[in-house]
Amino acid sequence: MDRQTLDPWGTSLIKDYSRLQAEFGIEPVSPLLKRFKNPSHHLSRGIDFGHRDLGRILDAVDNNNRFAVMSGIKPTGEFHLGTKMTADDMVYFQSLSKKATVFYAIADVEAYCDNGLSFAETSKMAVKNVADILALGLDPDRAVVYLQSEEMRVMKLATIFSRGVTNNMLKAIYGERQVGLYWSALIQAGDILMPQLPDFGGPKPVLVPVGADQDPHIRLTRDLAAKYSGEFGFFAPSAIYHRLMLSLSGDTKMSKRTIESSFTLDDPPAAAAKKVLSAFTGGRATVEEQRRLGGRADICPVYDLYRFHFAEDDEHTERVYNECVKGIRMCGECKQEAAGLVKGFLARQQKKRDGLLGEARELIAKSRKAPSRR
């Protein structure tokens, strides 16, 4: 059996999450669920399915110790539903403890290396991206938001790490790629380990919430943390992985690269609702067949909209699923309901986000000054 490949820069879906766990040593989240007093909908609906060393973060929460939550966004476009998932996880884990600090990297170096966007272009997009995560609930008082290209501590770490890896090691993890992508992977390792530098209070547990296809970055960074632990005292970073959401065409992951079969948090609500109404579904060829055989929620991007983002609660998600697979729910009405939820959410999010643009600008500007010790 071929080993599954994970391409952190691609659009492929993951076919078999259990195999992924077995092949890459990712632990299942389910045994740890009882340790969460109020699990997020990502946890309770099995969207966050795997982890590495999540117990270390839960220990920090229980013992009121400091920890960091670190992730970022490539500022190549507006927030979409895939980036919202990571942002939702960051906001949730920040909310678990007053001792949690979020580090949010605006990955403009990766945007340049992977997408060829200039730093001037991406710095404009960064403001809207940061305003979006603020609107989703990020507490700015416990957040460090920065542009990769301007954060010298990240650059220095990446430079140090570049002496510790060979081309063959990177090729084994990522396959044959441009040097720029290898470099951006080392910079991401710098992002993930920066919260443990003395400027931020020294070594501490760090949780990285990411899509499962980003695991190569986590493996590389954990190797580097071990290699440089003598010099810096790094803890290996912990990670929590979410499932990848289907794009509206149902054949790729929801991503900025497939924007025609996706929508962003900036799309006019009515236009996004229209896209939902013309999405691929797991429905049958005829109403009669659907009543008899039931729909296929497991391959349906409309069901993913409910499950990953827009169902009011877990009971609503289960109801949609059960009604679908039992042939009680028809795709037309199901899409209408989902479109209404999407429309309402986008209108609220955009209003909130527009009111937070000034705060987003200030937060980015703050990172340009020397940070206080945390």
Residues of this chain that interact with ligand SF4 (CB under 6 A) are 281-283, 295-297, 300, 302-303, 320, 324, 329, 331, 334-335
* H or E stretch at 20: helix 17-24
CB of 345 to ligand SF4, least distance (A): 18
Report d(CA 83, CA 228) in Å as an integer: 30
Q: How many CB atoms lie within 10 A of CB 124?
A: 9
Comparing CB distances to ligand SF4, the nearer of 105 and 297 is 297
Q: Is 264 helix (H, G, I), strand (E, B) or coil?
A: strand
End-to-end distance of the chain based on CA atoms, in angstroms?
47
Comparing CB distances to ligand SF4, the nearer of 128 and 253 is 253
* H or E stretch at 314: helix 314-325
Comparing CB distances to ligand SF4, the nearer of 68 and 276 is 276
Could you tell me the two tokens for 125?
Answer: 């997009």
Closest by CA to 83, choosing from 92, 73, 70, is 73
CB of 329 to ligand SF4, least distance (A): 4
Comparing CB distances to ligand SF4, the nearer of 35 and 296 is 296
CB of 276 to ligand SF4, least distance (A): 10
CB of 284 to ligand SF4, least distance (A): 8
Could you tell me the two tokens for 30?
Answer: 């389910």
Helix, strand, coil percent values for the chain (each to nearest 5): 55, 10, 30
CB of 291 to ligand SF4, least distance (A): 11
CB of 251 to ligand SF4, least distance (A): 15
Comparing CB distances to ligand SF4, the nearer of 287 and 347 is 287
Given a contact cutoff of 8 angstroms between Cβ atoms, the answer to whether 67 and 206 are in contact is yes
Comparing CB distances to ligand SF4, the nearer of 52 and 335 is 335
